[in-house]
Structure 1
Amino acid sequence: MDEQPSVFVGIDVSKDRLDVHLRPSDETFHVPRDAKGLETLAHRFGNRPIALVVLEATGGFEASVAAALAAVGLPLCIVNPRQIRDFARAMGRLAKTDTLDAEVIALFAERMRPPARPLPEPERRHFAELVSRRRQIIGMINMETNRRDQAVDKQLIRRLGRHIAFLERDLAELDGEIGHAIEASPVWCETEALLKSVPGIGDVTARTLLAQLPELGTIGRHQLAALVGIAPINRDSGLMRGRRSTAGGRTAVRGVLYMAALTAIRRGSPFRPFYERLTQRGSPRKVALVAVMRKLLVTLNAIIRDRTPWRPLTA
């Protein structure tokens, strides 16, 4: 009996549904993007000779799909949406619907044969651990440096110096590993570049956001600000009206956004006029700085959502 031909699958992922196209049979179907739909999808692929499943990176919606398919051992690749757009343009496929997008993705899988890559979520967890460890090492370097500066005993000073040198070598090695992790993922490379297109956002901020804030670009600005801990919280009771304040959230993300905001309000930055307007109206400097942090976060969220780099706007 003849062997079945290898099957290449393209999946267009949206918030509520998955449009699926198979090559070379050109079979199409769709399932909801929920637990039952993912179970149905994995079951339908169970007895087929699947060579490759390709999904676009959609800002997080693809993570649950990738996890479900990888759990049943299917070869999977998550590609940069720009690659699919360029491929469709080269083929003259200008029309765009979810069904047509799935077909183009399946054709891309069949003809381009991108290598199957590891799941993004385990990669992200690994990356988050690296970034977290980097923060810990920097904290240890600062503490050991303070101890060395306060020490009197020469032998102790030398011992602390050796430990600081060891930690600095470990930090350099960790920075290299973080860089390689980003370079290994085309989607992360593009996302890091998009983040760093914004004034005030450097390597540390971009990499912390990649690792610690995967929701960036996938949820609304108010929800995101609350998640990070820079949304004003009401403190009202009865007739009493308390001052609004921020609380909770992700400390690591809030910390790098604070430093980014300090950089962003330097003279010449497009965020500085916004900061100056707030302080001139009587807002305390700290309150104005938190407002800049929120403006930065909203800007970053829109850039990742739309996959478009920073364009200077009126602050």
Structure 2
Amino acid sequence: MTYIGIDVSKATFVVAYSSAKTGRTKTFKNTVKGVREFIRTISATEHHCVLEATGNYSALLVYLLSEARITVSLENPLKIKNFARAMLSVTKTDEIDARLIALYGERMQPVPYKLRSDSILILKQKRTVLRQLKKQLVATRNLKGSLEVLPSFDPECKKTIEKTIVFLEKQIKAMEEKITSLAQGEYKKQMDLLTSIKGIGVTLAAALIVATGGFTYFDNAKQLTRYLGLSPTYQQSGTSVNVKGHINRNGDSNLRSQLYVAAFSSLRYNTECKACFERLRSNGKPGKVAVVAVANKLVRQAFAVVTQGKPYVDGFKSERQ
């Protein structure tokens, strides 16, 4: 298998057909025509394409490569960046980056990317819009608050801001209802299983389904917690460094915040989560650390009920330890 490195930008993408310095590179337009022109230069049985996850810029390329049955890996840019540091790379151009990505593929042999279903793509777009609407609502409310302390608040400005707040609140409510409706329609069984867990509501359940592709992207709960950025970090070196750091904070910060809030709710109603929190607090752990641990437990419970296809039973203890 020959690994092909691809450096993607908004208008074009550069392809390195090998990692060798003398290897051929070529630039294609990041359009349907350009991608199909590139696909004609490679073989589904001989080539494995590797590229960084660059948001919407790489979406078309990944989709058309997957449709053509060509193996493609979509890697976290941080992995490529750290790999470049390990290779002591000091020069950065699109061609060099493409060759570096090809070399990364040869050395690391990344797993193939699983193309998201249409329903997951739609849900993801709606969640992105919802997140931005909420940010705009917070900003507008803050603006109102900053103007209210002035000696004179212009009535016209106040009316405009209040109308904007009402509009944003309606849009947010409508978008949340659409997300819930779509998730219930496409993933009803998973939604029912997830919401059987005390502490997980329909909004969080839908967010988990989007993040995991219907729980198909991960083999176990540990992989999922690491992806969500809830895994604790640890640094140890010799006798001078022995530090238990913060969580790794990778992945979707919005979903991580939702899990953190859900963890507080679960302390009242979820027997296992409450026991976990109390045990850690009695062992002297800070409150925030204990809450993060509870969020991790919620993720493990969510992964368990969906993969096993059984609703959550509060207080149930598995015989497997």
TM-score, length basis structure 1:
0.58
Q: Work out whether 1:206 is the aligned partner of 2:202.
A: no
Matches within 5 A, 1:276-291: 276-291=278-293
Deviation at 1:263, TM superposition (A): 0.7
Structure 1 residues 171-216: Cα deviation after superposition (integer angstroms, max 9, x where no partner): 232223223322432xx01111111110110122111111122273
Out of 136, 140, 145, which is 1:140 matched to? 136
Structure 1 residues 42-86: Cα deviation after superposition (integer angstroms, max 9, x where no partner): xxxxxxxxxxxxxxxxxxxxxxxxx99x959xxxxxxxxxxxxxx
Structure 1 residues 122-153: Cα deviation after superposition (integer angstroms, max 9, x where no partner): 21011111012112212211221122123131
**Structure 1 equivalent of residue 235 of structure 2:** 235
Are the counterparts in 2 of residues 127 and 181 from structure 1 also a CA contact under 8 Å?
yes
Matches within 5 A, 1:80-91: none
Distance 1:226 1:184 in 2: 29
Distance 1:170 1:312 in 2: 35
Deviation at 1:314, TM superposition (A): 5.5
Distance 2:224 2:214 in 1: 8
Are the counterparts in 2 of residues 229 and 246 from structure 1 also a CA contact under 8 Å?
yes
Gap change, CA 1:120 and 1:247, over 3 Å in 2: closer
Gap change, CA 1:309 and 1:225, over 3 Å in 2: same
Please identify runs of 4+ aligned residues in structure 1 that moved more than 6 A: none
Identical columns (%): 22
Distance 1:291 1:179 in 2: 27
Deviation at 1:230, TM superposition (A): 1.0
**Structure 2 equivalent of residue 261 of structure 1:** 263
SS in 2 for 1:244: strand
SS in 2 for 1:242: strand
Deviation at 1:308, TM superposition (A): 0.9
Distance 2:294 2:138 in 1: 27
Distance 1:121 1:230 in 2: 26
Distance 2:295 2:185 in 1: 30
- Range that drifts further, 285-294 or 136-145: 136-145
**Structure 2 equivalent of residue 126 of structure 1:** 122
Q: Work out whether 1:302 is the aligned partner of 2:290.
A: no
Deviation at 1:120, TM superposition (A): 6.5
TM-score, length basis structure 2:
0.57
**Structure 2 equivalent of residue 12 of structure 1:** none
RMSD: 2.5
Matches within 5 A, 1:45-60: none
SS in 2 for 1:198: coil
Gap change, CA 1:71 and 1:269, over 3 Å in 2: closer
**Structure 1 equivalent of residue 222 of structure 2:** 222
Are the counterparts in 2 of residues 200 and 261 from structure 1 also a CA contact under 8 Å?
yes
**Structure 2 equivalent of residue 54 of structure 1:** none
Distance 1:248 1:291 in 2: 14
**Structure 2 equivalent of residue 156 of structure 1:** 157
Are the counterparts in 1 of residues 180 and 203 from structure 2 also a CA contact under 8 Å?
no
